[in-house]
Amino acid sequence: MYVKTMMRVSCYLYTKKRYDEMMLMNYQAVLLKSFNEGLHYYYMKGLVATRNYREALKYYDELNDIFLSELGTGLSKRFKQLYDIIIADHAKEESKDMETIMRELSSHDQQNQGFFCSYEIFKYFYELLLKMSIRNEQNYYLIMLQFSDGTLDYEKIGLDFDRVKRLVGSCLRSNDLFTRTSETQPLLLVDCQTEENAHLIIQRISNKFYSV
């Protein structure tokens, strides 16, 4: 009853463009009902409506990670549709000068390891690199890893994705990408000349996993 009431009020406030009130209410509600998608959805719609695009993208990535970790599944299709709206609206923002653009592009730490991103971002990169590989006759390999002891008892094998994320990232080059499709399934996109090189990467990750 509480959730249904919050959803009705959220819908009302959204149609009345009272976004700040709606977001404050939703923020308080998700503290009580952390895994209710509807409450998160209206909070994210509020971020989009108030043009907080960067915060909305960050919120999406973090929420998707939490749902994968705790529930074993990512966000629903409507979140993906909202994500696409954010990307499209973000592109329509007013022009920036080159100095501002370069400062924003250089604001992230450059680390000599693989680049981790959300699955949605990974799909955009995949499409782009697929076209580049055809044009430049360059080889990329898609690798999916499965961390399991056969029973999917994560605590038994001492597995948490933060550990996997650090381990996989340290075994990749800075131009390699990786994401995850579930709590125990990292997905890699690596630039390799031969299939043998791709197998070497898999072996390097495996060796490091069992050595720590």
In a domain, 98, yes or no: no
pLDDT surpassing 90 at residue 165: no
Best CA proximity match to 146, nearest among 194, 180, 189:
180
Residue 107 is given by DSSP the state -
CB atoms within 10 A of CB 26: 25
Instruction: Report, as an integer, the average pLDDT of 86-99.
Output: 68
* pLDDT score at 80: 80
Rounded CA separation 14/10 (Å): 6
Which one, of 160, 159, 141, lies nearest residue 201 by Cα? Answer: 141
Examine the domain organization and report whether 203 and 121 are in the same domain: yes
- Please check whether residues 69 and 30 belong to one and the same domain: yes
- CATH number where 177 lies: 3.30.70.270
Is 95 or 62 the better-scoring residue by pLDDT? 62
52 with 120, same domain? no
pLDDT at 84: 80
Q: Does residue 100 lie in a domain region?
A: no
CATH code (residue 59): 1.25.40.10
- 119 with 197, same domain: the answer is yes
Confidence grade of residue 141 (pLDDT, cut at 50, 70, 90): very high
Identify whether 121 is part of a domain.
yes
Q: What angle do CA 35, 36, 42 make, to 5 degrees?
A: 125
Give whole-number Cα distances, 121 to 26, 40, 60, 85, 88, in Å: 26, 20, 11, 14, 14
Pair (33, 73) in one structural domain: yes
- Indicate the pLDDT class of residue 92, thresholds 50, 70 and 90: low
For residue 183, is pLDDT > 90? no
Q: Of 10-19, 35-44, 153-162, 165-174, which range is least confident?
A: 153-162
Q: Are residues 125 and 198 in the same domain?
A: yes
Give the predicted TM-score (pTM) of the model: 0.56
The boundaries of the domain holding residue 58 are: 2-91
Q: What is the mean pLDDT of residues 205-210?
A: 86
Tell me: pLDDT of 100 over 80. Answer: no
- pLDDT confidence of residue 104: 65
The 10 Å Cβ neighbour count of residue 43 is 21
CA-based radius of gyration for the chain: 20
Please tell me whether residue 52 adopts helix, strand or coil conformation.
Answer: coil
Q: ∠109-127-131 over CA atoms, to 5°?
A: 105
**Rounded to whole angstroms, how far apart are CA atoms 192 and 93?**
37
What is the number of structural domains in the chain?
2
User: Are 120 and 87 members of one domain?
Assistant: no
Tens-place pLDDT, residues 35-52:
888 888 889 888 888 888
